[in-house]
Structure 1
Amino acid sequence: MSVATPSTPSPLLPPSPKWPRIVQVVAFTVFRPRVTARVVRSIGPTFTMFLPLQGTVVVLTDPVLIRQVFHAPTTEIEVPTPSLDLMFGPGSTFGLSGAEHKRRRKLLVPPFHGKRMRAYESLVTSETRNEIATWPEGTEFPVLPATMRITLNVILRAVFGAEGEELDELREFMPRWVELGSKLFAVPALQRDWGAWSPWSRHLAYRRRFDRIVGSLIEKALADPNFEERDDILSLFLRARYDDGEPMSHREIGDELATLLAAGHETTATTLAWTLERLRRHPDVLTNLVADIDAGNDSWLQATIQETLRTRPVIDGVVRRVTADSFSLGPWVLPRGQGIFISASAAQQDPTRFDRPELFDPRRYLEATPDPLSWIPFGGGTRRCIGAAFANMELMVALRLVLQEFRLETTSSPGEGRRFRGIAYAPSRGGHIEVRRNPT
């Protein structure tokens, strides 16, 4: 007597725009947020696109289906490999999956929450104050380079505990490494060593330099008589222990520090630049925000940051891949290996979730917290950014100080477009602003 075995359902993918593949590749790579919105209007919230090196990818903009993917077990859905671990190393959370990822994440989350955040506020204040003291008055300038310097200095001191020579050296070469890494991630063909002057060879040289500095910082931290009281994140990682009592290896710590710097520095700086760019073009929001800050409140400040992250997400989306034999997603059936692109920009512009989503209106968050189904600038599920609370604190402190020190001049000029930097979407002109110092 034979025993019937369950059969794997036949794949059933969402529809695709009737464009030639080369058009899909160029459109989705170069004009992704705009193209995604157009396809959603013409086809619906779930569709397929052909992408270079990935083939046919299912694009999700429906918050309900996005939640299903974010919360699926790793036996069914996982981050594709290799991913950003190419840049940060196999010992980073980007290079781990399943139980190993869960084990590491449990170790990394505590330093980024609660009282730890308040300990870093004075550091953010100091670095912001130092930077804005150099800002010119009465003339437009791109603010993104300035916000990059603020977040770089904050993360080097808060995360690395770096001072002196190490701080100077990291400050000098890390921006170049992060910029190179963004390009390498965006162009997989460059992820090979073609010789001493190839981009990948330069990346490896930067990594060796980074590892040497991290090794020096670890030695100094462990030799510090007050090591147990140090609150920099490097020291917290050194003191952290897994459930079995084992510490992280120094290589794993180096990979995590590289991840925190590259993933947290540029994204936070870009969000701050976007916020100032948006405020210049919304004088009513700016007036309410300044009045609320002057009254000692944070409601408008928090809501403005949340609305910036909704309307101008720095990371447009994240990629997942089916690891089960098949995965049922709403009415669709995705086969093993199927790529999935979760579009944050489209989900956060869903008119069924947001009233007049095209408007920059922080009022929508004054009385309600963001819906985790449709507000996903930090990702979701077990892969949600562990530095989200740190980034929010940094944005709150820096923006508050800028608006206390300066009057931000508004403008009627069109808003800046989005420029793709390899990973992040930044203001196309660098976020031009004009300020005048407030009377003391």
Structure 2
Amino acid sequence: MGDRPTRVERGTAILEEPATASPAVNLPPGPRIPKALQGIGYAVSRTWTYQQIARRHGSVFRMNLPVYGRTVIVADPQLAKQLFMAGTDDVGNIQPNLSRVLGDGSVFALDGSDHRLRRKLLTPPFHGKSVKNYEKIFEEETLRESANWPEGQAFSTLEPMMRITLNAILRAVFGAEGEQLDELRRIIPPWVTLGSRLVVLPTPTRKFGRYSPWGRLAGYRRQYDAVIDKLIDRVKSDPNFDSRDDVLALLLRSTYEDGSAMSRSDIGDELLTLLAAGHETTASTLGWAFERISRHPQVLTKLVDEAATDDNEYRQATILEVQRARTVIDAVGRHVYAPTFELGEWVIPRGYSIVVAISQLHRRAEDFPAPETFDPTRFVGTRPPFAFMPFGGGTRRCVGAVFANVEMDVVLRTVLRHFEIDTTSAPDERAHSRGVAYTPKDGGRVVLHRRETPLDQEKR
């Protein structure tokens, strides 16, 4: 913009006013290593790479990454807050983003007023009374999945949690049942696994055939679109359509402020977004929860005692501590659209990405004393500090955060009521990157024993 004058209308006169010059660019320091090496480190282990660079350059530094280009990494909660509160004309949706995989109709693809209007449509089904209606589904799917769990031998909880969260979200969000439910169960798991891995890689200029990863992803999407089209027809023809409480029906009934409705394509993209964002991440956190509590006997004892009551304060605190100590989504970002954006003492030019390193914020001793200690009591009766952001922050905070936390609460309570969990002195499981999410490397392995129910005792 420089010093070019701005034309301002005042009544009938047009005045020439000098435009305010943008402040001079002032970038934070960064490593002096080739872009390729930075990219390799970022792809292999983002968390480890953040830690190594932060040791030398502090809580704000710059990198040059293959997918996002020139990027500023932030691990300071006040600067993260400043970024999240900034106007959408100055900083917006990071580029590229998950819409590469989820579709142009996804909330991840939208920015500015379009994003605000879409969130307004999506928010009601994921809050308060609406989520309360789904608790029975969460419990039913947990009991269904756990009916054949092995007793007395170690097994991975991650894949069972994936099935529980998938079935729960298909029922609660899609309203799927029968043939469509079976088809989506078949399509979604391989699609989510493949999409999570591809989204962190540069998009190729060509798909390289149907047997290539991108070609297979497109094939899953075509199958998904066909199922969703049939599902929408079935839901709209339901005589009880106006009273249905699944998210698909709510989206089909909802309208924007001008009275227009979402297109079928946008609904398909949005449902896929809700599923991809809420299925794998919730299951991963639950896998970490079993890995953590099996290694902390005192925590497990308190959870078991509480599960016999209607309370959930300690269980909720434990879920928050799992999200802090074993962060599943380790970063969120924005893109600078203003000529320059002031972030604390730094001035970042247009075209840069700004990534908030959530995993580093969750390890700040200033906000979480003894951060390496697994201690749910840090969240009992206290409000989490701003440094705690497992669902991101600002206008792009995960719309399904309440849904996910209620689901995790019900699943964990149901397992604790029906099974005894053996404690172990085995080493902590290491984190494994599935592309977008971090999961326990061995799948959150535990040893379970089925509890006797009152009915079992009567039979004896």
> Which category of TM-score, normalised to the shorter sequence, fits these structures?
over 0.9
**Does the C-alpha gap of structure 1 residues 170 and 4 become closer, same or farther in structure 2, counting only changes over 3 Å?**
closer
| One-letter identity of the residue aligned with 1:83 | N
Partner of 2:265: 251
Partner of 1:177: 191
CA contact (8 A) 1:379 1:385 kept: yes
Partner of 1:330: 344
Question: Deviation of residue 200 (structure 1)?
Answer: 1.7
CA contact (8 A) 1:191 1:200 kept: no
Equivalence map 1:249-288=2 (5 Å): 249-288=263-302
Larger radius of gyration: 2
After superposition, give the CA deviation of every residue in 1:400-426 in whole Å (9 maximum; x if it has no partner).
Answer: 011111111111111111111011001
Q: Does 1:361 align with 2:378?
A: no
> Distance between the aligned counterparts of 1:118 and 1:189, measured in 2?
40
| One-letter identity of the residue aligned with 2:277 | A
Q: Does 1:135 align with 2:138?
A: no
Q: Does 1:406 align with 2:424?
A: no
Larger mean CA deviation between 25-34 and 109-118 belongs to: 25-34
Question: Deviation of residue 191 (structure 1)?
Answer: 6.8
Structure 2 residue corresponding to 1:434, chosen from 447, 456, 459: 447
CA contact (8 A) 1:328 1:334 kept: yes
TM-score by length of 2: 0.92
| One-letter identity of the residue aligned with 2:450 | R
Partner of 1:61: 75
Equivalence map 1:410-421=2 (5 Å): 410-421=423-434
Q: Does 1:72 align with 2:99?
A: no
Structure 1 residue corresponding to 2:122, chosen from 97, 102, 108: 108
After superposition, give the CA deviation of every residue in 1:64-102 in whole Å (9 maximum; x if it has no partner).
Answer: 000111111111111123411111111111111101110
Matched residue SS, 1:159: helix
Equivalence map 1:26-105=2 (5 Å): 26-105=40-119
After superposition, give the CA deviation of every residue in 1:2-28 in whole Å (9 maximum; x if it has no partner).
Answer: 975432222111111344444322222
Which 5+ residue runs of structure 2 have no aligned equivalent? Answer: 6-15, 454-460
Q: Does 1:164 align with 2:164?
A: no
After superposition, give the CA deviation of every residue in 1:104-156 in whole Å (9 maximum; x if it has no partner).
Answer: 11111001011111111001100000111111111111111100000010111
After superposition, give the CA deviation of every residue in 1:16-64 in whole Å (9 maximum; x if it has no partner).
Answer: 1344444322222212212323333332111112211333311101000
CA contact (8 A) 1:49 1:56 kept: yes
> Distance between the aligned counterparts of 1:144 and 1:191, measured in 2?
35
CA contact (8 A) 2:66 2:202 kept: no
> Distance between the aligned counterparts of 1:184 and 1:59, measured in 2?
22
CA contact (8 A) 2:196 2:436 kept: yes
Q: Does 1:230 align with 2:252?
A: no
| One-letter identity of the residue aligned with 2:141 | E
CA contact (8 A) 1:184 1:191 kept: no
Structure 2 residue corresponding to 1:345, chosen from 359, 366, 370: 359
**Does the C-alpha gap of structure 1 residues 282 and 227 become closer, same or farther in structure 2, counting only changes over 3 Å?**
same
| One-letter identity of the residue aligned with 1:261 | L
After superposition, give the CA deviation of every residue in 1:350-375 in whole Å (9 maximum; x if it has no partner).
Answer: 1111111111100011111222x211
Q: Does 1:303 align with 2:322?
A: no
Q: Does 1:148 align with 2:162?
A: yes
> Distance between the aligned counterparts of 1:44 and 1:171, measured in 2?
45
> Distance between the aligned counterparts of 2:309 and 2:408, measured in 1?
19
Partner of 2:208: 194
Question: Deviation of residue 211 (structure 1)?
Answer: 1.1
> Distance between the aligned counterparts of 2:25 and 2:332, measured in 1?
22
Which 5+ residue runs of structure 1 have no aligned equivalent? Answer: none
| One-letter identity of the residue aligned with 2:129 | K
Matched residue SS, 2:63: strand
> Distance between the aligned counterparts of 2:54 and 2:213, measured in 1?
37
Q: How many residues align?
A: 439
Question: Deviation of residue 282 (structure 1)?
Answer: 1.0
Partner of 2:221: 207
Q: Does 1:397 align with 2:410?
A: yes
Q: Once superposed, what is the RMSD of the aligned Cα atoms?
A: 1.6
Identity percentage of aligned residues: 48
> Distance between the aligned counterparts of 1:154 and 1:142, measured in 2?
20
